[in-house]
């Protein structure tokens, strides 16, 4: 277990574990200076914190929040750590293998594998999101059962510009429907909180000032119910999605994602199309183009 799971109230590896109310744990992304970009240390600390909440019988509901103006800008592309620096959680193995074999193994371990693990945590989870929620940030929000958003929250996945299909937990069509998923992916534009709510991706939208208190009140309200009923309700909905093919479709998209990275390695000598960085930066500086 990493230090993050031991340090109540302390931020370790970019994650803070809090117990703000009876029956409620709050896991906080605490790298606001980096817009909560997820490096490997943070992902493993996040996993340790989810495990701690899962194994603590006093915790019945888990909130996932982010410090600062933005929930998460996605995976930290500046992360210089090696995956071999961390004990693996999954059993894919082979992360040190050369070529796309190692690359695919690494992304199965730290992206799809961890996200699927968190999605399947039996206790109710609530994402509390504000500001930018980009690519890998979306993945964190989507694996939670409920999403409460501040009015200023914006949801985007611009990584088609890197020559891949989208983030590694490719739940876009499940979350916003097939047509909106294509629009998000093709244009790289962000959905507003109001649009996300209309599409059923977000449960509630509240003002930024109310976000934390509102989410905590909802978590405490849910936590009054018996853990058995909550687990059964969660599993019943999740198993419906599983029967519809969620896991199979996530794995299929992950395979195509690796095809994209493989093509980038062959054509550009790196895992992402370098031109994509400019495309995404230019879009981030410009006002949104396609709003109703
Ligand atoms: Zn990738």
- C-alpha 159 – ligand 1 centre gap (Å): 9
- What's the pLDDT score for residue 4? 45
- C-alpha 192 – ligand 1 centre gap (Å): 25
Instruction: Sketch out the chain's domains with CATH numbers.
Output: 4-285 (3.90.226.10)
- What's the pLDDT score for residue 194? 98
- C-alpha 167 – ligand 1 centre gap (Å): 7
pLDDT, mean over the chain? 96
- C-alpha 107 – ligand 1 centre gap (Å): 6
Instruction: Report the C-alpha gap between 144 and 180 in whole angstroms.
Output: 20
- C-alpha 211 – ligand 1 centre gap (Å): 31
- Give the whole-number percent of the chain exceeding pLDDT 70: 97
Q: What is the Rg, in whole angstroms, of the alpha carbon atoms belonging to the chain?
A: 18
Could you read off the pLDDT of 48-78 as tens digits, one per residue?
A: 999 999 999 999 999 999 999 999 999 999 9
Whole-model pTM: value is 0.96
- C-alpha 263 – ligand 1 centre gap (Å): 12
- C-alpha 241 – ligand 1 centre gap (Å): 24
Sheet with 61-66, strands from edge to edge, namely 11-12, 15-21, 24-29, 61-66, 125-129, 146-150, 204-206
In which band, very low, low, confident or very high, does the pLDDT at 292 lie, cut at 50, 70 and 90?
confident
In which band, very low, low, confident or very high, does the pLDDT at 3 lie, cut at 50, 70 and 90?
very low
CA-nearest of 167, 175, 182, 161 to 281 is 161
In which band, very low, low, confident or very high, does the pLDDT at 8 lie, cut at 50, 70 and 90?
low
């Amino acid at each position: 277990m990493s230090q993050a799971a031991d340090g109540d109230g302390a931020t370790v590896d970019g994650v803070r574990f809090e117990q703000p109310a009876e029956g409620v744990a709050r896991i906080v992304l605490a790298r606001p200076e980096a817009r909560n970009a997820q490096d490997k240390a943070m992902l493993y600390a996040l996993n340790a914190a989810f495990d701690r909440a899962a194994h603590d019988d006093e915790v019945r509901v888990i909130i996932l929040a982010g410090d600062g103006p933005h929930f998460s800008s996605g995976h930290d592309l500046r992360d210089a750590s090696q995956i071999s620096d961390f004990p693996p959680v999954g059993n894919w193995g082979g992360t040190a293998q050369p070529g796309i074999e190692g690359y695919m193994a690494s992304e199965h371990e730290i992206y799809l594998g961890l996200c699927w693990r968190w999605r399947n945590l039996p206790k109710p989870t609530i994402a509390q999101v504000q500001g930018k929620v980009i690519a890998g940030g979306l993945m964190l929000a989507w694996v939670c059962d409920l999403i409460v958003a501040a009015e200023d929250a914006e949801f985007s996945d611009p990584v088609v510009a890197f020559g891949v299909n989208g983030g590694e937990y490719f739940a876009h069509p499940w979350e916003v429907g097939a047509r909106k998923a294509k629009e998000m992916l093709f244009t790289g534009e962000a959905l507003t909180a109001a649009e996300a709510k209309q599409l059923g991706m977000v449960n509630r939208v509240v003002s930024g000032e109310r976000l934390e208190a509102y989410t905590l009140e909802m978590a405490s309200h849910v936590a009054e119910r018996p853990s058995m009923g909550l687990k059964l309700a969660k599993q019943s909905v999740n198993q419906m999605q599983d029967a519809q093919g969620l896991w199979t479709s996530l794995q299929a998209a992950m395979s195509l994602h690796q095809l994209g990275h493989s093509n980038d390695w062959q054509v550009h000598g790196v895992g992402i199309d370098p031109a994509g960085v400019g495309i995404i930066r230019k879009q981030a500086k410009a006002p949104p183009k396609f709003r109703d």
